[in-house]
């Protein structure tokens, strides 16, 4: 994920865009909100406005460079679009997010939709639960 991807998407290679891509790439699968990214930028002493973060993320989404998700709680989170589709399990205690893909679920979705006379364009599947790990601090906020 680099500058060439920006060019390919018809976007000029600018500092904010490159920085935001880097942050998403370095998030190790964590799903970041606009505010999260903005905070990281400030920590790096980058002079980039929150509005720009939103604008860039929206452009990235339109260019299919990132995916936007609406987990519980009003704020959207973003992750790099690595190509292969997956769904999410979110821990209600610690906010930890795990990704999964189950072709059985995908298939049944398609047939359920067809049975109802729909042609699926996309879907959103989010499981909410408890991960019960040692590191899980039973705090409801994302770390």
Partner DNA sequence: ATGCCTGCAAAGCTTTTGCAGATGC
Partner DNA sequence: GCATCTGCAAAAGCTTTGCAGGCAT
User: Which positions touch its own copies (CB under 8 A)?
Assistant: 70, 89, 91-92, 98, 100, 102, 104-105, 108-109, 112-113, 115-133
Q: How many residues does the chain have?
A: 143
By the 10 Å C-beta count (0-12 exposed, 13-18 middle, 19+ buried), 112 is classed as exposed
Question: Choosing among its own copies, DNA, none, which partner's interface includes residue 113 (Cβ < 5 to 8 Å by kind)?
Answer: its own copies
Question: Choosing among DNA, its own copies, none, which partner's interface includes residue 30 (Cβ < 5 to 8 Å by kind)?
Answer: none
Q: Which is nearer to its own copies, 8 or 130 (CB)?
A: 130
**Residue ranges that bind DNA, judged by CB under 7 A:** 7, 10-17, 33-35, 47-52, 54-56, 58, 74-76
C-alpha 56/C-alpha 129 separation (Å) is 32
CB-facing half-sphere around the CA of 66: CA atoms within 13 A: 31
């Amino acid at each position: 994920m680099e500058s060439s991807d920006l060019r390919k998407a018809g976007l000029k290679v600018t500092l904010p865009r490159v920085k935001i891509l880097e942050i998403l790439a370095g998030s190790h699968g964590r799903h970041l909100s606009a505010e999260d990214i903005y905070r990281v930028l400030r920590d790096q002493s980058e002079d980039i406005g929150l509005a720009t973060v939103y604008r860039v993320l929206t452009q990235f989404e339109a260019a299919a460079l990132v995916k936007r998700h609406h987990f519980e709680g009003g704020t959207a989170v973003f992750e790099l679009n690595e190509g292969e589709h997956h769904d999410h399990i979110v821990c209600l205690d610690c906010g930890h997010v795990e990704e999964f893909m189950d072709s059985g679920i995908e298939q049944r979705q398609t047939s359920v939709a067809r049975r109802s006379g729909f042609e699926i364009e996309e879907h959103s599947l989010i499981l909410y639960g408890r991960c019960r790990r040692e590191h899980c601090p039973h705090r409801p906020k994302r770390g």
